[in-house]
Amino acid sequence: MESYENRELPMSTHNARSPDELLDEFRSLLQQGQELLDATANLSGDAMTTIRDRFQFKWEEARERLQDVQSYAVERSQQARELTTTYVHDHPWWAISVATGVGVLIGYSLNRRTAHEKAHAYSTTRH
């Protein structure tokens, strides 16, 4: 098995664009869709059919782009999960130590907040 140090999260092989580029393109398509809807407010007949056809085409493009982003996100999360699993298997005590430390910090902060709230409630009932 390849060590986590030598592995990277590669870009999707089916998608050369970054998620930010895809989201920008998706926003642009949504804006164009809104413009097409606004343009149909006073149209009827053939002009309306043409606008609807253009909108349908743009909407399908947007859905395809959104599926690309979703596929990319799923792929990246699976790769991150695999890297995490590999790292934890290679360094179990370190992972246990970190998890314990995080748990202690969360417990301390919650306990401190609860103690502060109790002290505040006590001080307001005394007056």
Among candidates 89, 75, 73, 84, which has minimal Cα distance to 7? 84
| Full-model pTM | 0.44
Whole-number Å distance between alpha carbons of 124 and 53: 67
pLDDT in tens, 99-108: 999 999 999 9
Delimit the domains of the chain by residue range.
15-90, 92-127
pLDDT in tens, 43-77: 778 877 787 788 788 878 878 888 888 888 889 99
Q: Which amino acid, one-letter code, is at 115? A: A
Structure token digits, residue 66: 């959104």
- pLDDT confidence of 79, banded at 50, 70, 90? very high
Whole-number Å distance between alpha carbons of 81 and 98: 17
CATH number belonging to the domain at 15-90, selected among 1.10.3470, 1.10.287, 2.40.50, 2.60.40: 1.10.287
Whole-number Å distance between alpha carbons of 3 and 107: 33
